[in-house]
């Protein structure tokens, strides 16, 4: 077996010249500033769970601060010649009116890296996320769109919503969270964003044996609870998720370690919105890229009916196995395993009606956007978990003759900087008119 890209990089790194120089003989850039303390006036929020400040001409990304505050910050990474520094606000000199005492005792400088905005309300967190989405779309796609981040039903002020949690296990056998930008495990007695069943599963009080480096806990919408220690020592259980779509329940099987929306209201919110926006009609052809366990494929299969077709493409083996089971009652819906980027280069090119894109955090990318849009769908639903990737891909869509008809943003990850967006793309008026003239 050939080495993975990551292993290859590590091997190349072993040939580094002596004398403290980096790759290709470059000397370290500047003197370390880690541990230095600055007094900073905090500016606007930035993508990634921090705010922007400046110190002696250097950009400083400050965590645990809010826009408009004056803080004392400690540098956590960077040098005198870095393009930017990272820092934690350790003392609040002038507090924002939106600041509150963090309800979680593990939130704060040097502690758990899971949450970014415990020091403010979920409502203000949504305001910050909306600013980030709007800035990213403006900077990367040239779009000036109003953005409101909407709450998703199923949590209480941003707490007790997470139905799937991945925990690390430390050398002492205790499960916990990794500290921010660190591999060090912080043992915790509770996680306030975990739902009650996950938090009450007992794994945070247990001591695991030698060799266990992680534990996953999953609680399904049907009430099933699964605990899987890592490395896996047996068959991973499958959970049943139920999503009400068009007022009817859609039941899917999902591996306890597979991908599923962790907010209890997210799956229903996203799929119903996509169905309503695409308005799939009987007999239409649909392509569902990065289809996961087949949620969108199954729901759209119901809409287009036996005279239509839905093809889902997914690269993850377990997700494909789950997805194929989830659509087997719909013979006109297929889920196939393939790497999406390669598939679009070698797959079908005939016209289709609708597309769903639900890519990973890195986005779909230019090739996927160009190849898919070249097939002339009348509408595309792009479900994005990263606003910068969304901005880049919307720019590619504009080059291909597609524009944003609607954009909604959802707070599917309260207390964190993550936000889910759904953009619906349609051919631009000029492109559509041109195609009509050619016809």
Which residues are known to be catalytic? 385
Give residues with Cβ within 8 angstroms of 346, minimum separation 6.
Answer: none
Question: What is the bridge-based pairing of β-strands 185-187 and 402-411?
Answer: unpaired
Cβ-in-10-Å burial (0-12, 13-18, 19+) of 138 comes to middle
Q: Which pair of structure tokens corresponds to residue 26?
A: 């470059």
Other beta carbons within 10 Å of 361: 10
CA 348 to chain centroid: 29
Q: Which residues of 62-97 are buried (b: 16+ CB within 10 A; e: fewer)?
A: bbbbbbbbbbebbbbebeeebeebbbbbeebeeebe
Other beta carbons within 10 Å of 297: 26
CA distance linking residue 163 with residue 258, whole number of Å:
13
CA distance linking residue 297 with residue 360, whole number of Å:
17
Distances (CA, A) of 436 to 421, 429, 439: 31, 11, 5
CA distance linking residue 414 with residue 150, whole number of Å:
11
CA-derived radius of gyration, the chain: 23
Cβ-in-10-Å burial (0-12, 13-18, 19+) of 187 comes to middle
Q: Which residues of 9-46 are buried (b: 16+ CB within 10 A; e: fewer)?
A: eeeeeeeeeeeeeeeeeeeeeeeebeeeebebebbebb
CA distance linking residue 226 with residue 233, whole number of Å:
14
Under DSSP, is residue 424 helix (H, G, I), strand (E, B) or coil?
strand
Contact status, residue 309 vs residue 286, Cβ threshold 8 Å: yes
């Amino acid at each position: 077996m050939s080495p993975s890209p990551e292993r290859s990089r590590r091997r190349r790194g072993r040939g580094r010249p002596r004398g403290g120089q980096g790759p290709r003989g470059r000397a370290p850039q500047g003197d370390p500033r880690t541990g230095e303390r600055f007094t900073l006036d905090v500016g606007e929020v930035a993508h990634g769970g921090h705010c922007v400040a400046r110190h002696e001409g250097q950009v400083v990304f400050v965590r645990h601060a809010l826009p408009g505050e004056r803080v004392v910050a400690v540098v956590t990474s960077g040098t005198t010649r870095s393009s930017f520094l990272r820092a934690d606000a350790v003392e609040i000199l002038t507090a924002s009116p939106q600041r509150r005492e963090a309800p979680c005792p593990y939130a704060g400088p040097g502690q758990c890296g899971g949450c970014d905005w415990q020091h403010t309300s979920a409502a203000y967190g949504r305001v910050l996320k909306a600013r980030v989405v709007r800035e990213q779309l403006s900077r990367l796609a040239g779009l000036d769109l109003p953005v409101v981040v909407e709450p998703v039903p199923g949590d209480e002020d941003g707490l007790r919503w997470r139905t799937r949690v991945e925990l690390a296990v430390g050398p002492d056998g205790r499960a916990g969270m990794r500290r921010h930008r660190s591999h060090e495990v912080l043992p915790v007695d509770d996680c306030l964003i975990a739902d009650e069943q996950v938090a009450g599963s007992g794994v945070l009080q247990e001591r695991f044996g030698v060799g266990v480096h992680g534990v996953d806990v999953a609680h399904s919408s049907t009430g099933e609870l699964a605990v899987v220690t890592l490395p896996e020592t047996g068959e991973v259980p499958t959970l049943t998720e139920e999503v009400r779509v068009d007022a009817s329940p859609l039941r899917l099987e999902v591996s306890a370690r597979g991908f599923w929306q962790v907010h209890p209201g997210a799956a229903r919110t996203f799929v119903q919105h996509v169905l309503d926006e695409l308005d799939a009609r009987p007999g239409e052809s649909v392509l569902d890229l990065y289809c996961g366990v087949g949620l969108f494929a199954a729901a759209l299969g119901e809409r287009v009916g036996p005279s239509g077709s839905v093809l889902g493409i997914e690269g993850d083996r377990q997700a494909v196995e789950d997805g194929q089971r989830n659509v087997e009652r719909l013979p006109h819906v297929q889920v196939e395993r393939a790497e999406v980027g390669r598939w679009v280069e070698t797959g079908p090119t005939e016209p289709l009606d609708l597309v769903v894109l639900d890519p990973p955090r890195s986005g779909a990318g230019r090739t996927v956007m160009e190849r898919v849009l070249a097939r002339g769908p009348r509408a595309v639903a792009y479900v994005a978990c990263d606003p910068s990737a969304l901005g880049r891909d919307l720019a590619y869509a504009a080059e291909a003759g597609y524009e944003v008809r609607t954009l909604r943003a959802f707070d599917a990850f309260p207390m964190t900087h993550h936000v889910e967006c759904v953009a619906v793309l349609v051919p631009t008026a000029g492109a559509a008119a041109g195609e009509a003239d050619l016809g």
